[in-house]
């Protein structure tokens, strides 16, 4: 059972773009430079926090966000630390995504937000 539902954020609260989700699902997963991942993480964390605030979500929602999870997973991979324990289901009470669930969520959310962005562009 998931503690968080990241697809239930009302559209009027969206601060993250389709590009944010696309980058986490593709570019970050192929990254080989920790400083670039950290720069991206710093940038996207502000938008995740803004979206959490607008949608009245708490710190747990932010901490378990799939975009953050994918950034952290890649940093662990590059540092040869191994997978975070919650990715393996070893931490009781933490509803973490598996790696593939986080990637799939980011891809589907990117498609949903891209469609909305294009719809808004067409109405301008």
Domain membership of residue 1 (yes or no) is no
Question: Is 100 inside any structural domain?
Answer: yes
In a domain, 10, yes or no: no
In a domain, 5, yes or no: no
Q: Between the ranges 4-13, 38-47, 83-92, where is the mean pLDDT highest?
A: 38-47
Q: Does residue 78 lie in a domain region?
A: yes
Flag whether 8 is in a domain: no
The enclosing H or E element of 52 equals: helix 34-54
d(CA 111, CA 89): 28
Considering only residues 2 and 106, tell me which one the structure prediction assigns the higher pLDDT.
106
Range of the domain at 22: 18-122
pTM of the predicted protein model = 0.74
Q: Would 11 be classed as within a structural domain?
A: no
Q: Is 28 part of any domain?
A: yes
Where residue 64 falls among pLDDT bands split at 50, 70, 90? confident
The count of structural domains within the chain is 1
- Over the stretch 17-27, which tens digit does the pLDDT of each residue have? 888 888 888 88
Measure CA 71 to chain center.
8
3-state secondary structure of 5: coil
């Amino acid at each position: 059972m998931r503690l968080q539902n990241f697809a239930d954020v009302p559209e009027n609260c969206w601060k993250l773009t389709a590009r944010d989700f696309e980058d986490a699902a593709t570019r970050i997963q192929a990254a080989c430079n920790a400083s670039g991942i950290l720069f991206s993480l710093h940038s996207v964390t502000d938008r995740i926090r803004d979206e959490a605030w607008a949608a009245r979500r708490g710190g747990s929602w932010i901490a378990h966000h799939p975009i953050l999870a994918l950034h952290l997973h890649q940093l662990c991979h590059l540092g040869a630390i191994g997978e975070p324990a919650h990715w393996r289901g070893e931490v009781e009470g933490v509803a973490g995504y598996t790696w593939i669930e986080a990637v799939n969520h980011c891809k589907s959310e990117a498609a949903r937000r891209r469609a909305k962005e294009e719809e808004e562009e067409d109405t301008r």
